[in-house]
Amino acid sequence: MSYEMIGITVLWLFLFGYIIVASIDFGAGFFSLHAKLFGESKKVNGLIQRYLNPVWEVTNVFFVFFFVGIVGFFPDTAYYFGTALLIPGSIALILLAARGAFYAFENYGQDSKLSWLMIYAVSGLLIPAALSTALTISEGGYLIRTSNDHVDLNWVALLLSPFGWAVVLLSIVSVLYISSGFLTFYAARAKDWKAYVLVRKWFLMWGAPMIMVSLFVFLSLRVQNKTHFDSAVFEYGWLFIISFIAFLIAGMLTYLKKAHGIAFLFVMIQMGTAFFGYGLSKLPYLLYPYVRIDHAVTNDNMAVGLIIVFVLGLVLLLPSLALLLKLFVFDKAYVRGRK
Amino acid sequence: MDAVEISRFLTGMTLAVHIIFATIGVGMPVFFALAEFLAIKKKSSRYLALAKRWAKGYTITVAVGVVTGTIIGLQLSLLWPTFMRIGGHVIALPLFMETFAFFFEAIFLSIYLYTWNRFKNQWTHFLLSIPVIIGGSFSAFFITSVNSFMNTPAGMEISGGRMVNVDPLAAMFNASFFVRSFHVITTALMTMAFILATIAAFKLLKNKVKEDKVYHQKALKLTMIAGLIFSMLSMLAGDLSAKFLHQHQPEKLAAYEWHFNTESNADLVLFGVIDESTQEVKGALHIPGALSFLSDSSFDTKVKGLNEFPKEELPPLIVHYFFDLMVTFDIFCFVVSGLYVLALWIKKWNPNHKAFLYAILFTGPASMLAIEFGWFLTELGRQPWMVRGILKVQDAATTAGGLQFVTLLFALLYFVLLFSASFVLIRMFKNQPVSKDIEKIESERRGGAL
C-alpha cells in the first residue's frame, strides 16, 4: 500500500472510532436530559454515568488524533479545510468545549443543575451537526476563490444545500441510534431492567428514521457530486448492502431481546461498512476538486516517521484501552454498580 | 484591527487560558501521586485524604484543560492555514506523539480516578499514577518541541515557498527543544507546588475547622519543600535559557534587556521605563556586566545589541516588562519557600507563623502569573516571525471572513469556563471539612479488615 493509503486508512479508522464513542457520549447526554424532563432520571442516570464518567476524556482524544493526523499526512487539507471551516469549525469547538466542561461540572461537581445538564445535552446534538459541515464541504461546490488566489466559504450555497441539511439530520439521528444501541447492551449487562426497557424502546424507535434519512442523503449526493454517487453505487454498493443487512440483524436481535452484545456489534458493522463505503467511493479526492489524496500527501520521510510512531503508539494504546474496557465495560460487578 | 491582528489576539487569548490548565495538568499528577505514596508508606489516612481531594479537584481542571487544548489544536489550522500548509507536515511527528501521550494519560487518569477501592494491594492503585505522570510530561515535551521548532527551525529546506526534504527527527529535536522543555516542566511543577501551598495557607489562616489544622500543615510542608526544589530547578532552567538565547536568538535576549549596542561587559537592566523613539531608559537598575555573565558565565562576553538587526525584524520592546515580572515573581517564590524550609530546620522559628502564611498566600498566584508572563515574552519575543527566519506572521493568517464574530464567541466561552470552573471548585471544597473525609477513609479501612 502507498503511504497515502496507509495514512487515510489510519485516519478513517480513528474517525470511525470517534464517531462510535462520541455518538454514545452525545446521545447519552441527550437521553439523560430527556429522562430528567420526563421524571425518569432515576431509571437511566446511574447507568449512563457509570459508563461515561471514566471514558469521556478518552473519547475526545480520538477526535484530536484525527485532526492532528490529517494535518501531518495531508498538509494541504489544513489550508483548504482550515480556511473554509473558520466559522463552522469554531462553532463546533465552542460547543465541544462547553459540553466537555459542563459535563465535568455537572457530574464531578458538588451539585447538579438543570441548566448545566441542558448545556451539555443540547450541545451534544449540535456538535455532530457542526462537524458534519466538513463532510459536506468536501463534496465540492461550497468554496469560492477570491482574487489573488484566496479561498473562502460560500455561505449561501452551504445554507441552501439540501445535501448539507440531509447530512446534518443524518448525523443527529445516527447519534441517537448508536447511543441507544450501546445503552441497551450496557443496561442488559447491568441487569438494570428499568433502564433497559427505556433505552431499548429508544433504539427501536430511531432505526427507521435513520434508514430513511440515509436514503435521502444518497439521493441528494447524486445531485451534489455525481461521480461520487456513481462510485458509491456501482463500485462499493455491496458495502452498503452489507450495512443494511447488519442493520436488520441488530434490530431483530434487539426486538427479540437476545444477545445484546452481538446486536451492538452489528450496529458497529452497519456503521463501519457504510462509513468505509462512503470514504472509499470518495477517493481520490479529499476535498473535491482542490485536494487529491495523491497530491496532498506529506513527504516520504515524514510519512515513514508517522507510521512508525503510529505502530508504536498502538502497541502502547491497545492494551491500555483493553484495560479501560475491562474495568468499566466488561467488569460485571462495576457495571452493576457494586464497585 | 486587521485579520492578522485578530488572529494573533485570538490565539493569544486561547493560549493564555489553556496554559493555566495545562500547567496544572503537568504538575498535579505528580502531587497526588506523591501524597498517595506517602499515604501508603506511612499508613496515613491524612495523606490519603490529601491525595483524594487533590485528585478530585483535578477532575474539574483537567476537563477545562482538555477542551481548551482541543481548541488550540484545531485553531492552528483555522487561524493559520498557510502556516499549517507549509509547515504542518514538519511538526507532524511531535504533534502526533503529543496526541499519543495525551491518549495514554487520558486512559490511565480515568482508571486512576475511578478505582480508588478496587485493588487489594494499595500499591497497584498508586502505580496507575505513573503512566498519568509520564503521559502528562511527555505531552508537554512534545508540544514544546513544536513551539521550539518555530523558534529554531531545523530539519528541512525551503524550496518554492514550501518546506521540503524533511528530516523528522532533526525537526523535532531542534536546537531549543531540550532547554525549553526543561524550563516548561520545572516551572509547571513549581507553580503547582505553590498553588497547592497557597490553598493550604489560606485554610490555615481561616482556621475554620480546628481538626483539619494538622492536615493543612502537612500539605503545606509537602508543597513548600517541593516548591523550593522546583523553584531552584526553574532558576537553573532560566539560566540555561538565557545562555541558549545568547547563542541562537540574540535579538530576543537583547529585546528582553533593552540592550541596544553590541558590547562586552554588558549591563543587566532591571525594571525601568523606555521611550521607544529615543531608546532612552529611565528609572532602571543597571547591574554592570551581569548580562554578559548571564549569557556566557564571563564578564567579557560580547552581547549582540538590537541595533545590529534590521529594524523590521525586531521584537517589541514591551517584552522587557514581562521578563522583569517573571524573574521577580520567581525569586519571590524561591525566597518564601527557602525561608519556610529554614524555619522547619531552625527550632526557634515557627514555620506556621502568620507572616509566613500571608507570604505563602501570594506564591501560587505569583508563580502562575510568572508562567503567563514567561509565555508572553517568549511568544512576543519571536515577532515578527511565525517560523523564525522563514515565515512572517503577517503572511500566515487566515483569509476567511467572520474572524471578529468567532473571536467574540471564544472570549465569551473562556469567560464562562473560567467563571464556572472557579465556582465549581470553590463549592467542591467549601464547607467540606477534611476530617469527614478522613473518618470515611478510616471506616472503610475497618470495614475492609472485617
Bridge partners, residue B263, by sequence: B303
A279 in contact with B at a CB cutoff of 8 Å? no
Among B67, B95, B427, select the one facing A72 at the smallest CB separation.
B95
DSSP B211-224: GGHHHHHHHHHHHH
Task: Give B160's contacts in chain A (Cβ within 8 Å).
Answer: none
- Under 8 Å CB pairs connecting chains A and B tally to 231
B78: nearest CA in chain A? A82
First and final C-alpha spacing in chain B: 70
- Give yes or no for residue B233 having a pLDDT over 90: yes
Measured distance CA(A211)–CA(A49) in Å, rounded? 29
B3 in contact with A at a CB cutoff of 8 Å? no
B106 in contact with A at a CB cutoff of 8 Å? yes
Task: Give B117's contacts in chain A (Cβ within 8 Å).
Answer: 339
B75 in contact with A at a CB cutoff of 8 Å? yes
- Give yes or no for residue A138 having a pLDDT over 50: yes
Q: Answer yes or no: do B90 and A302 touch at CB < 8 A.
A: yes
Q: Answer yes or no: do B110 and A58 touch at CB < 8 A.
A: yes
Q: How confident is the model at residue A237 (pLDDT cuts 50, 70, 90)?
A: confident
pLDDT digits (tens, 9 = 90+) for B346-395: 877 877 777 788 888 899 999 999 999 999 998 888 888 878 777 788 87
Measured distance CA(B409)–CA(B64) in Å, rounded? 17
pLDDT digits (tens, 9 = 90+) for A1-49: 788 788 888 888 888 888 888 888 888 888 888 887 887 777 777 777 7
A212 in contact with B at a CB cutoff of 8 Å? no
Percent of chain B whose pLDDT exceeds 70: 99
Task: Give A79's contacts in chain B (Cβ within 8 Å).
Answer: 81-82, 84-85
Q: How far are the Cα atoms of A34, A329, B44, B269 from residue B41, in angstroms, in the given order?
A: 47, 32, 8, 49
- Residues composing chain A: 339
- The helix (H) or strand (E) run that includes residue A253 is helix A237-255
pLDDT digits (tens, 9 = 90+) for A164-186: 888 888 888 888 888 888 888 88
Among B67, B82, B115, select the one facing A101 at the smallest CB separation.
B67
Using a CB cutoff of 8 Å and minimum separation of 24, what contacts does B111-117 make?
Answer: B111/A54, B111/A323, B111/A324, B111/A327, B112/B55, B113/A54, B113/B55, B113/B59, B114/A53, B114/A54, B114/A327, B114/A328, B115/A327, B116/B52, B117/A339, B117/B444
Measured distance CA(A218)–CA(A232) in Å, rounded? 9
Place of cell 466559522: A87
Give B103 to chain A, closest Cα distance, Å.
6
Task: Give A150's contacts in chain B (Cβ within 8 Å).
Answer: 399
Q: Answer yes or no: do B111 and A146 touch at CB < 8 A.
A: no
| Report for A71-80, A132-141, A162-171, B135-144: range of highest mean pLDDT | B135-144
Find the mean pLDDT for residues A198-213: 84
A89: nearest CA in chain B? B78
Measured distance CA(A211)–CA(A170) in Å, rounded? 9
State the Rg of chain A over Cα: 20
Residue B40: count of CB within 10 angstroms of its CB: 16
**Residues 6+ away with beta carbon under 8 Å from A168:** A129, A132, A133
Q: Answer yes or no: do A61 and B102 touch at CB < 8 A.
A: yes
B56 in contact with A at a CB cutoff of 8 Å? yes
B118: nearest CA in chain A? A339
Q: How confident is the model at residue B218 (pLDDT cuts 50, 70, 90)?
A: confident
Crossing angle between the packed helical segments B45-79 and A86-108, to the nearest 10 degrees? 170
CB-side neighbour CA atoms (13 Å) of A151: 22
- Give yes or no for residue B58 having a pLDDT over 70: yes
Most B CBs within 10 A among A83, A290, A318, hence the mutation to make, goes to A83
Task: Give B424's contacts in chain A (Cβ within 8 Å).
Answer: 105, 109-110
Q: Answer yes or no: do B399 and A151 touch at CB < 8 A.
A: yes
Higher-confidence residue of A149 and A75: namely A75
Q: How far are the Cα atoms of A138, B240, B274, B294 from residue B326, in angstroms, in the given order?
A: 46, 15, 18, 16
Bridge partners, residue B125, by sequence: none
B352 in contact with A at a CB cutoff of 8 Å? no
**Closest of A270, A246, A303 to residue A20, by C-alpha:** A270
- Torsion angle of alpha carbons B415, B417, B421, B422, nearest 10°? 0
B59 in contact with A at a CB cutoff of 8 Å? yes
Report which residue type is found at A189: R
Q: How confident is the model at residue A148 (pLDDT cuts 50, 70, 90)?
A: low
**Residues 6+ away with beta carbon under 8 Å from B90:** A302, B149, B153, B155, B156, B163, B166, B168, B171
Question: Given the DSSP bridges, would you call strands B385-387 and B391-392 parallel, antiparallel or unpaired?
Answer: antiparallel
B98 in contact with A at a CB cutoff of 8 Å? yes
Q: Answer yes or no: do A101 and B398 touch at CB < 8 A.
A: no
Specify the pLDDT at position A149. Answer: 65
Task: Give B165's contacts in chain A (Cβ within 8 Å).
Answer: 299, 301
pLDDT digits (tens, 9 = 90+) for B261-274: 888 777 788 888 88
- Rounded to 5 degrees, φ, ψ at B152 are -130, 75
Cell of B140: 508537554
Among B107, B401, B421, select the one facing A320 at the smallest CB separation.
B107
B165: nearest CA in chain A? A299
Q: Which residues of B70-86 are buried (b: 16+ CB within 10 A; e: fewer)?
A: bbbbbbbbbbbbbbbbb
Report which residue type is found at B373: F
Minimum mean pLDDT range among B224-228, B300-304, B330-334:
B300-304
Find the mean pLDDT for residues B420-445: 81
Bridge partners, residue A144, by sequence: A152
- Give yes or no for residue A97 having a pLDDT over 80: yes
Specify the pLDDT at position A110. Answer: 66
Measured distance CA(B210)–CA(B223) in Å, rounded? 21
Cβ within 8 Å of B, A 126-185: 146, 150-153
Task: Give B109's contacts in chain A (Cβ within 8 Å).
Answer: 57
Cell of B440: 470515611
Using a CB cutoff of 8 Å and minimum separation of 24, what contacts does A257-265 make?
Answer: A257/A200, A260/A184, A260/A185, A260/A188, A260/A189, A261/A185, A261/A189, A263/A181, A263/A184, A263/A185, A264/A181, A264/A182, A264/A184, A264/A185
Query: CB–CB of B41/B51 below 8 Å?
Result: no
Measured distance CA(A284)–CA(A297) in Å, rounded? 12
Cβ within 8 Å of A, B 30-49: none
- Give yes or no for residue A150 having a pLDDT over 90: no
Q: Answer yes or no: do B413 and A83 touch at CB < 8 A.
A: no
Specify the pLDDT at position B189. Answer: 94
Q: Answer yes or no: do B399 and A68 touch at CB < 8 A.
A: no
Measured distance CA(A16)–CA(A178) in Å, rounded? 12
Task: Give A57's contacts in chain B (Cβ within 8 Å).
Answer: 62-63, 66, 106, 109-110
Using a CB cutoff of 8 Å and minimum separation of 24, what contacts does A192-195 make?
Answer: A192/A46, A192/A47, A192/A336, A194/A43, A195/A43, A195/A44, A195/A46, A195/A47
Specify the pLDDT at position B449. Answer: 46
SS3 A206: helix
| Report for A192-196, B13-17, B87-91: range of highest mean pLDDT | B13-17
Find the mean pLDDT for residues B30-52: 89
Specify the pLDDT at position B450. Answer: 42
Q: Answer yes or no: do A55 and B110 touch at CB < 8 A.
A: yes
Q: Answer yes or no: do A327 and B115 touch at CB < 8 A.
A: yes
- Rounded to 5 degrees, φ, ψ at A99 are -65, -50
Give B272 to chain A, closest Cα distance, Å.
41
Most B CBs within 10 A among A3, A25, A79, hence the mutation to make, goes to A79
pLDDT digits (tens, 9 = 90+) for B182-215: 999 999 999 999 999 999 999 888 877 777 888 8
- Residues composing chain B: 450
B60 in contact with A at a CB cutoff of 8 Å? yes
Helical segments of B302-353, H only? 319-345
All structural domains of chain A with their residue ranges: 3-335
The mean pLDDT of chain B is 86
Measured distance CA(B380)–CA(B16) in Å, rounded? 13
Cα of B298 vs its chain's centroid, Å: 30
B399 in contact with A at a CB cutoff of 8 Å? yes
pLDDT digits (tens, 9 = 90+) for A250-266: 888 878 877 888 888 88
Specify the pLDDT at position B418. Answer: 92
Query: CB–CB of A87/B96 below 8 Å?
Result: no
Cβ within 8 Å of B, A 49-78: 53-55, 57-58, 60-61, 63-65, 67-69, 71-73, 75-76, 78
Q: Answer yes or no: do B95 and A71 touch at CB < 8 A.
A: yes
- Give yes or no for residue B448 having a pLDDT over 70: no
**Residues 6+ away with beta carbon under 8 Å from B264:** B292, B299, B300, B301, B302, B303
Q: Answer yes or no: do B78 and A89 touch at CB < 8 A.
A: yes
Reported ipTM: the value is: 0.84
Specify the pLDDT at position B447. Answer: 66
Crossing angle between the packed helical segments A260-282 and A3-37, to the nearest 10 degrees? 130
Measured distance CA(B184)–CA(B370) in Å, rounded? 12
Q: Answer yes or no: do B93 and A309 touch at CB < 8 A.
A: yes
Among A54, A105, A324, select the one facing B60 at the smallest CB separation.
A105
Cell of B92: 507532524
Task: Give B413's contacts in chain A (Cβ within 8 Å).
Answer: 94, 97-98
Number of H helices, E strands in chain B: 15, 10
Most A CBs within 10 A among B6, B18, B78, B111, hence the mutation to make, goes to B78
Measured distance CA(A167)–CA(A223) in Å, rounded? 14
